[in-house]
Amino acid sequence: MALRIVFAGTPEFAVPCLRAAAQHHEVVAVYTQPDRPAGRGRELTPSPVKREALLRGIEVVQPENFKAAVSKDALRALQPDLMVVVAYGLILPQSVLDIPTYGCWNVHASLLPRWRGAAPIQRAIESGDRESGVCLMQMEKGLDTGPVLLSKALDIGADETGGQVHDRLSALGAQVLADGLTLLRAGIRPVPQPQPEEGVTYAHKLDKAEAKLDWSRPAVVLANKVRAFNPWPMAEAQVAGERLRLHGAVALDEAHGAAPGTLLRASRDGLDVAAGEGVLRIRVLQREGGKAITAADYLNARRDLMAAK
């Protein structure tokens, strides 16, 4: 028997999960964040989840929050068997979590309890994690504290960016959700496993102010940050007298006696900048008002740097 599902999500990450939920079940409504100004014209723009819902002819609901009784009454009137929440962006009070017959499930992009919170993908890469994954969690009032129903892990490649890992975890999340829904449809409720008390970390929301590199930090730390912050907010730094956005860089285990931030070498392989420990080789970069280019293309316009030693 198909389940009556209310889906709550907002960004592109959640779209594959919406598709998975709608494949064999009745999605009676989609909750998503209100339209926000975006782009240079700052026009009100629907979320990716809203666009997908409208394409499928699913009712879209966009409350600012669930504080008003009318918002809870509207959800209750939908008589949901289950609410699936994926990167929705609103905290759900217990009074909402209690409405669906089977409560609320959340698809979270980390192996809990590591990286609870808003930016688990980027924080995992920034910290040099070699593994991530997806957890299907039974929601409770705490922030990503609920018991885990199902999970799947994946390796993080040494050169993978935040955007690349995001896309793989988004697809993996849809698989995990589909597995859970298949069980529930067959009358089998996944067994909730309480999260361990040890190993809890929090993935705080990304801030553009974090984008600027601190050259006194080790090159490995800087390289991880460049990967994690691609495609947003993009790491940036002062290099050779101008502000650059860094799309790709690697750490070199190389001793030097230069002050952090010093351009040591400039070649077609990259711009080698002294870090607190080691050297950061910038391979792909973006100038003010420009597009992403290789270091080789950059040096065609900055031939003065080829003599840098």
Q: What is the pLDDT of residues 32-83, one digit of tens each?
A: 999 998 878 888 999 999 999 999 999 999 999 998 899 999 999 999 999 9
Q: In whole angstroms, what is the distance from residue 14 CA to residue 86 CA?
A: 5
Give the CA dihedral 39, 44, 50, 52, nearest 10 degrees: -50
Name the binding residues: 110-113
List, for residues 129-166, the tens digit of each pLDDT value. 999 999 999 999 989 999 999 999 999 999 999 999 99
Burial class (CB in 10 A: 0-12, 13-18, 19+), 97: middle
State the pLDDT at residue 114.
98
Mean local confidence (pLDDT), 292-307: 89
Choose the weakest-confidence range: 214-228, 270-284, 292-306.
292-306
State the pLDDT at residue 144.
96
Name the binding residues for (6S)-5,6,7,8-tetrahydrofolate: 110-113
> How does the average pLDDT of the chain come out, rounded?
95
Distance of CA 83 to the CA centre of its chain: 21
Mean local confidence (pLDDT), 259-285: 97
Domains belonging to the chain, first-starting first, are: 4-203 (3.40.50.170), 208-307 (3.10.25.10)
Mean local confidence (pLDDT), 231-243: 95
The fraction of the chain above a pLDDT of 90, given in percent, is 91
Can you tell me which residue has the tokens 């067959």?
A: 186
Mean local confidence (pLDDT), 264-273: 96
List, for residues 183-208, the tens digit of each pLDDT value. 999 999 999 999 999 999 999 999 99
State the pLDDT at residue 307.
58
Q: Is the pLDDT confidence value at 308 over 60?
A: no
State the pLDDT at residue 309.
46
Q: How confident is the model at residue 107 (pLDDT cuts 50, 70, 90)?
A: very high
Helix, strand or coil, per DSSP, at residue 231: coil
Helix, strand or coil, per DSSP, at residue 293: strand
